[in-house]
Structure formats: C-alpha cells, structure tokens
Chains A and B, each alone.
Chain A
Amino acid sequence: MVTESCFFRTAETDGCVSCVSPLFQSVKYQQQHVSGPLVVPMFSTLKDRVGEVLLPGDEFTCDTDDTISLTEHVKPEKVVCGPGLRRSGDRLVVCKSGVLRHKQPNVFWIDSQQRRYVPAKGETVIGIVTTKSGDVFKVDFGGSEQASLSYLAFEGATKRNRPNVQVGDLVFAQFSIANKDMEPELVCIDSSGRANGLGVFGGGGLLFRVSLGLVRRLLAPHSEVRSDLEQLFPCELVVGMNGRLWVRSSSVQQTLIIANLLQSCDTMTAPQRRELFRRVKQGAL
C-alpha cells in the first residue's frame, strides 16, 4: 500500500518530487498502524466526502454487493476523475493531497497547490522558443523537458511559407501530446486549422511567474481577481497554465504595477487583496 503510493508520486510528477512527500510517507505509516487503509464504496460516498481533505493513498472502491436492491436501478455510473485522482484497476486512488471537489454531474478532482507545472493535453501555455532545428522549434514551458513545436503547426504555414518565429520569442500554444512517456508536443492551431489567438505574441510586455493556483483563480468563470483587475487600467493579459503571465499596458510603470500586484496577491486573502487594489487605484489617480 505504501509502496504503491510512492510509485504514483514519482510517476505523476515526472521525476520532480515535491518536497512534502517524505512527510506524508511518515504519516501514511502511522495511519496504517492505527486503522488500516480507507476503502469506501464509490460514487455516493465520493459525493459525501466532497470538501474534505484527502491524502495520497486514500482509496474509493465499487462495492456493488450491498447496493443491489430490487427497487433501485443497478446501473453503474461513470465517474470522471480529474487531476489528483487516479484509476488503478477498479479502484479510485488519491495521489495528491488536497480538498476533494465536485462538479455536476459526475466530475471529481483534488484541489491542490503547486508551483511546478505538469503538462496535460489541451492546456494552453506560454512557451519561450529556445532553438530552431530543421523543421521543429524547441520550446521551454517550465516542465521537465522542452516541448517540440513543428513549424507546420501554425495557421497558414506550408513548407514554402514558414512562420516568422525567432529564438527567444514568446509563443501561446496548446499541447497536442502530453504524457509521461513521450516528449510533449505543442501546436499553435486548433483541430480545424485556425489559430484562434494562439501563436507568437508581441513585444512590449512583461513575462513573470506565479503559482498554478493563482492561474486557475484568474481563469475561473466568476473570478474576483479578474474583476478587480478589470477596473484598474486598460491592459492586456496572456495567461499560461504553466504559471506564466504576460502583461502589457499603456506605460511601463502601469505594466510593472500590474505585475507586482498579481505576484503579491497570490498569497493574500480576499479582503487584503481588495484593500491593496483600492490603494493602488487611489494612488495611481
């Protein structure tokens, strides 16, 4: 049981083990000694535990024996397990520590914080072009290895008509291949061949790093951080899921103010952040 969870940790984080893992390993030993592993029946108790803090090694199994009754449907429900949850055979195993979240109808995931990005297919990230070799650009996105971006994966690119991409350019791309066994690949077009905002984006802005949690908070549907930011200055923002943000505003000073604001509101509570934004707004005026 303990060795299984170790395996999941190293495989999941691509060789970059987070610093808290040895701590949880010791906690796991204690847990086993006291009460044994937590094995609970599936969907209904998954729902019961929404909002609770779970640790790596907690399992959810499908106990269909006690739920068969003549009045109910015996139709097994499909469960979509998001990041932090993993399927091992018939069971659902937690592999990150955090709070269990739920979305209708059947999506569950673990809400956790980290700074290190692990690529996932379909996510859009900001990358920096490092080398240009033959038909392929190597792009650094902050992961364990560099991703490759083919020069044909741009809108309107053909073998004769190459895209205008130089080393050091910032590129907004999405992953077409991203798993732990293969080199990640980026593309700057969608499945129908249109760019839709992906590709090289311009100069005049500032690129900086934040934690992945802030990125998700910024991109959430009804985001308070974004609505606070909307009222400040006219500005343009590109958010990469790998924790990189790029800001451009009408003057260098405003750009720097926004960058500093976003970096500092990562670790603030909501009232503190609102206070800070209010002060900046007054100060700027």
Chain B
Amino acid sequence: MANDSVKLSKNLLRMKFMQRGLDAETKKQLEEDEKRIISDEHWYLDLPELKAKENLIIEERSFVPCEDLKYGRMSFKGFNPEVEKLMALMNPRDEEEKQEEEEVSRMQTDVTDEEMALRYESLVGSMKKKFVKKRERAAMEEDLNQNVEETNTKKAFLKPQD
C-alpha cells in the first residue's frame, strides 16, 4: 500500500485497541452516535432532547481560594527547619518571584524554542527515511519535487484465464 492513508473499516475502528489513542471528546462523540442508532427492538422515550442549562454561578464554600490564604504551618527565625522548607514549598509563590524564575530559565537555554522547532522539521524527514521499506524508498528517491503525488493502482486479484 503506497497510500499513506489506508481506509479502515468501521468495525476495525470500533475495536478497543483503536479507541485508546482517541481523546476523551472524540470517544464521547462516538458513544453518542452509537446510542442514536436505535433499532426497532430497542424501546426509547419519545421526549425532546433536554440540554442542561449552563450554570452561571459557581459556589465556593471555603475562604482559602477567595483570600489566597497561606499554608497553615509556619516557623519563624529558623525554629523548625523542616517546617520552613514546607513553607517555601507549599505557599503560593509571589508573582515577582515567578517572573524572575521565568527570565532565569530563558537565559540558561542556549537554543531558543524557535530554533528547536526548525531543527525538528528537518529531523522528522530524515528519521522517516530510515524506517521506510525498500520498495517505498525507491519510489521516494525518484521524485525530488515532493509536489508530485504518487498514484499506484491497487493490486487486485486477477482471475486465471483458462
């Protein structure tokens, strides 16, 4: 099969090992589609579809997120060093400190993100060549212009002519 996208049958797609790679959203969609296929034997309620109303008001019972309260254990002047470590770990870090951390981490990287992205584009192509089968490699080397698409006919069964 020289085509990259092989058409898989619906039954194959419904198998468990094919579903693992899908996101939760597409899974839900597929489940809903299946539910809608109702045969005559299934009984169903003849009601219109009700959508749950979107709640605009979210209730929050605790003060902690409202007032940004800190962690409950504290130690002053180094009385309990373990608790001081916990304080540093658990307390929400201030915004100024967070910004400083981001700047520091940016300076330490020698290669920027954009360079990495460019590097990866060419890397993917060269790695692909390594794992390609012999027949496909021959076909790939022929067209240097990757614009031309390959159209190979499927090898169907030829009835022996008698």
Q: Taking beta carbons and an 8 Å cutoff, which residues of A are in contact with B?
A: 62, 76-83, 85-87, 90, 92, 101, 103, 107, 109, 120-124, 172, 178, 196-197, 201, 216, 219-221, 226, 229-230, 232-241, 248-250
Name which residue of chain A comes closest to B78, CB basis. A234
- Rounded to whole angstroms, the CA-CA distance of A87 and B75 in the bound complex is 39
Q: Could you give, for residues 74-111 of chain B, a 1 whenever the CB lies within 8 Å of some chain A CB and a 0 otherwise?
A: 11111110010010011000000000000000000000
- Rounded to whole angstroms, the CA-CA distance of A196 and B60 in the bound complex is 24
Contact present for B86 and A81 (CB under 8 Å):
no
- Say which one of B3-11, B61-69, B135-143 lies at the interface with A: B61-69
Contact present for A79 and B63 (CB under 8 Å):
no
Candidates A90, A121, A220, A248; contact of B61 at CB < 8 Å: A121
- Rounded to whole angstroms, the CA-CA distance of A80 and B48 in the bound complex is 32
Contact present for A197 and B59 (CB under 8 Å):
no
Q: How many residues of B contact A (CB 8 A)?
A: 31
Contact present for A238 and B72 (CB under 8 Å):
yes
Contact present for B66 and A230 (CB under 8 Å):
no
Q: Report A-chain residues with C-beta under 8 Å of the C-beta of B54.
A: 76
Q: Report B-chain residues with C-beta under 8 Å of the C-beta of A235.
A: 75-77, 79
**B37 contacts the other chain (Cβ, under 8 Å)?**
no
Q: Report A-chain residues with C-beta under 8 Å of the C-beta of B62.
A: 82-83, 120-123
**B71 contacts the other chain (Cβ, under 8 Å)?**
yes
- Rounded to whole angstroms, the CA-CA distance of A90 and B33 in the bound complex is 33
Candidates B59, B61, B76; contact of A237 at CB < 8 Å: B76
Name which residue of chain A comes closest to B68, CB basis. A221
Contact present for B90 and A83 (CB under 8 Å):
no
Candidates B56, B74, B89; contact of A77 at CB < 8 Å: B56
- Rounded to whole angstroms, the CA-CA distance of A248 and B77 in the bound complex is 13
Q: Report A-chain residues with C-beta under 8 Å of the C-beta of B16.
A: none
Point out which of B55, B66, B72, B75 has the most chain A C-beta atoms below 10 A from its C-beta.
B72
Candidates A83, A123, A239, A240; contact of B74 at CB < 8 Å: A239
- Rounded to whole angstroms, the CA-CA distance of A122 and B72 in the bound complex is 12
Nearest-neighbour CB distance to chain A for B153, whole angstroms, equals: 54
Q: Report A-chain residues with C-beta under 8 Å of the C-beta of B90.
A: 196-197
21 A-B pairs (CB sep. < 8 Å): A81-B59, A82-B61, A82-B62, A82-B63, A87-B59, A103-B68, A120-B61, A122-B62, A197-B83, A201-B73, A216-B63, A219-B67, A220-B67, A230-B77, A232-B76, A233-B76, A233-B77, A235-B75, A237-B75, A238-B73, A250-B79
Q: Report B-chain residues with C-beta under 8 Å of the C-beta of A250.
A: 79
Contact present for B76 and A197 (CB under 8 Å):
no
Candidates A76, A77, A81, A216; contact of B69 at CB < 8 Å: A216
Name which residue of chain A comes closest to B75, CB basis. A236
| Residues in B98-156 with C-beta less than 8 Å from chain A | none
Q: Report B-chain residues with C-beta under 8 Å of the C-beta of A77.
A: 56
Apart from A109-B66, A178-B61, list 4 A-B contacts with CB within 8 A.
A78-B56, A78-B57, A83-B63, A216-B67
- Rounded to whole angstroms, the CA-CA distance of A220 and B67 in the bound complex is 7
- Rounded to whole angstroms, the CA-CA distance of A238 and B82 in the bound complex is 13
- Rounded to whole angstroms, the CA-CA distance of A216 and B66 in the bound complex is 11
Contact present for A240 and B76 (CB under 8 Å):
no
**B58 contacts the other chain (Cβ, under 8 Å)?**
yes
Knowing A235-B75, A238-B73, A240-B72, the reply to whether A101 touches B83 (Cβ < 8 A) is no
Contact present for A79 and B66 (CB under 8 Å):
no
Contact present for A82 and B57 (CB under 8 Å):
no
Candidates B72, B75, B79; contact of A219 at CB < 8 Å: B72
* In the A-B complex, the 3 residue pairs with the closest CB atoms: A234-B77, A120-B62, A219-B69
Contact present for B66 and A226 (CB under 8 Å):
no
Knowing A234-B79, A235-B79, the reply to whether A81 touches B73 (Cβ < 8 A) is no
Q: Report B-chain residues with C-beta under 8 Å of the C-beta of A249.
A: 79
Contact present for A239 and B66 (CB under 8 Å):
no
Contact present for B79 and A83 (CB under 8 Å):
no
Contact present for B76 and A122 (CB under 8 Å):
no
- Rounded to whole angstroms, the CA-CA distance of A234 and B59 in the bound complex is 40
Q: Report A-chain residues with C-beta under 8 Å of the C-beta of B27.
A: none
- Rounded to whole angstroms, the CA-CA distance of A83 and B63 in the bound complex is 7
